[in-house]
Amino acid sequence: MTTTQPRTTQSINQEQLASLIANIRGTVIQPTDAKYDLARTIHNAMIDKHPALIVRCADAADVMHAVNFARANDLLLAVRGGGHNVAGLSMCDGGLVIDLSEMSGVRIDPERRTARVEGGATWGKLDHAAHAFGLATPSGIISTTGVAGLTLGGGFGHLSRHYGLSCDNLLSADIVTADGQFRTVSADKNPDLFWAIRGGGGNFGVVTSFEFRLHPVGMVYGGPIFYPVEKTEQLLNFFRDYMRQAPIELSAFFSFHQGPPAPFIPEPLHFVPMVAIVVCYSGDDPAQGEELVRPLRQVAEPAVDLVGMIPYPALNSMFDAIYCPGLQHYWKTDYEPRLLDGAIKVHSEYGPQVPSLQSTMHLYPQSGAIQQVGRSETAYGQRDVEYVHNIVAIDADPANMPRNMAWMRAYAEALRPYSAAGGYVNFLMADEGQERVKATYGDNYERLVDVKTAYDPTNLFRVNQNIKPRG
Ligand SMILES: Cc1cc2nc3c(=O)[nH]c(=O)nc-3n(C[C@H](O)[C@H](O)[C@H](O)COP(=O)(O)OP(=O)(O)OC[C@H]3O[C@@H](n4cnc5c(N)ncnc54)[C@H](O)[C@@H]3O)c2cc1C
């Protein structure tokens, strides 16, 4: 990516800028700096934004300075955790970006089974540090994703049916709010803010560190099983009943992928559309995992079966290479309250047409431990839907995106009759509108507005799926 629209910082109070630079331990990156283009590059290559300043913070004190500076200069403010948000909500045009990428420390307390994680860490860092103690906490399925954005929006992955959403495992957090104050939030301290950040996204401040509960997860029985797409309808019918009966220790999601050109996939299947069911059994007894997965091996002849004992961090980074940075992304997501026969027919029609190596549809069960938390216990309110589907158009070549997006749009449109009004906040694009955000939070929306009004009355933190303050 190159700079097509150089921005200067001339409109910013130069005295205050000099003071910011002098006061912080991190780096202030300006459009004229050699590092600028790299620093404004995020995971989705479709995003090409040009902030006036990028403040790469070294600690919470830097974050406080940067928040105060943005507020005093009336600058649009974006916050970058892992930079994975496909809507590009970690960057902005013309404003200030608080970049946390150098605040990525992780400290494990093996006795208390907790992890203290800085606001710019990725899941790979946490997985690795915790695995040394045979511990883990629910994350996403790609290890390069940021802990912060994923957790603040909810967060689900291979361990979520067993141990809940990432935000359900949050014990406390340190957050710098719009007034520049540093606050610790937990069930006992600032409980309203603690409630709001568990699902309410980046609306309430900059989280400088998270404290998570960890669980005994070392080796898991997991991986993908690929099947011919001709079996889609049969597989989905089976999968629906299978997941309704599965113990919570077993997570699995259903997907369509072109066979990756990897040595463990037979060459005739490279780039061939296939169904992939990705499983993860995280219970104590591997033999039970094998027993639980057996029906998946019997329902139809697998084309490739890669399920086995694997360290959790290895499972969690298995697909990183396919979803490397620099690809073009556009996504369409919806909650599917129940997987109905009509929806199965739609998936069976469109899934097998998956148009590129990275484009896909993932159908994530939202059952198990996710549903053991009440709808109003955290801001993440969609606790009683059966599935989230995410239809994603991804390609390395921008010229191929119209074809990928046409497939994605037609597929999502055909599923509309089976979809709820809201969507998973971390998968939404930037242009989906305020009604969609409201529908996403449902009954929790008004309470979120109350917390937003109390802590961010001028909507300083608005580069997100925005919850607007009153007034
Ligand atoms: C390849 C890929 C795979 C994914 N897989 C999953 C998955 O398995 N499960 C899942 O639940 N989601 C998944 N996601 C979606 C992911 O949860 C969101 O993209 C999420 O926003 C990423 O967090 P981040 O910190 O990397 O994002 P960023 O782009 O850095 O930020 C996203 C939002 O969070 C805010 N934010 C970031 N850091 C902070 C902070 N420290 N304090 C306050 N606000 C902050 C930003 O302002 C922005 O609004 C995936 C995304 C990608 C691209």
Q: How many helices (H) and strands (E) in the chain? A: 14, 19
The model's pLDDT over 390-441, given as tens digits with 9 standing for 90+, comes to 999 999 999 999 999 999 999 999 999 999 999 999 999 998 999 999 999 9
The model's pLDDT over 269-316, given as tens digits with 9 standing for 90+, comes to 999 999 999 999 999 998 999 999 999 999 999 999 999 999 999 999
Confirm if 97 and 78 have CB atoms less than 8 A apart. Answer: yes
Closest atom of ligand 1 to 208 CA is 41
**DSSP element (H, E) containing 27:** strand 27-29
Would you say the CB of residue 289 lies under 6 angstroms from ligand 1? Answer: no
Q: How would you class 373 by CB atoms within 10 Å of its CB: exposed for 0-12, middle for 13-18, buried for 19 or more?
A: middle
What count of Cα atoms within 13 Å lies in the side-chain half-sphere of residue 284?
0
pLDDT band at 10 (very low <50, low <70, confident <90, very high): low
- The alpha carbon of 89 and the centre of ligand 1 are apart by a number of angstroms equal to 9
Our count of domains for the chain comes to 3
* Judgement on whether residues 125 and 42 belong to the same structural domain of the protein: no
* Judgement on whether residues 252 and 389 belong to the same structural domain of the protein: yes
The model's pLDDT over 116-140, given as tens digits with 9 standing for 90+, comes to 999 999 999 999 999 999 999 999 9
Q: Which of 96, 87, 100 is nearest to 47 (CA)?
A: 87
Nearest CA to ligand 1 atom 44: 202
Per-residue buried b or exposed e for 105-134, using 16+ beta carbons within 10 Å of the residue's own CB: ebebeeeebbbbbbbbbbbbbbbbbbbebb
Would you say the CB of residue 84 lies under 6 angstroms from ligand 1? Answer: yes
pLDDT at 286: 84
- The alpha carbon of 60 and the centre of ligand 1 are apart by a number of angstroms equal to 20
* Judgement on whether residues 251 and 277 belong to the same structural domain of the protein: yes
Domain boundary residue among 198, 216, 234? 216
As a whole number of Å, the CA-based R_g of the chain is 22
Domain of 180? Answer: 106-216
pLDDT at 62 over 90: yes
pLDDT at 5 over 90: no
* Judgement on whether residues 82 and 211 belong to the same structural domain of the protein: no
CATH of the domain at 59: 3.30.43.10
Q: Is there a domain that residue 445 lies in?
A: no
CA distance 353 to 361: 11
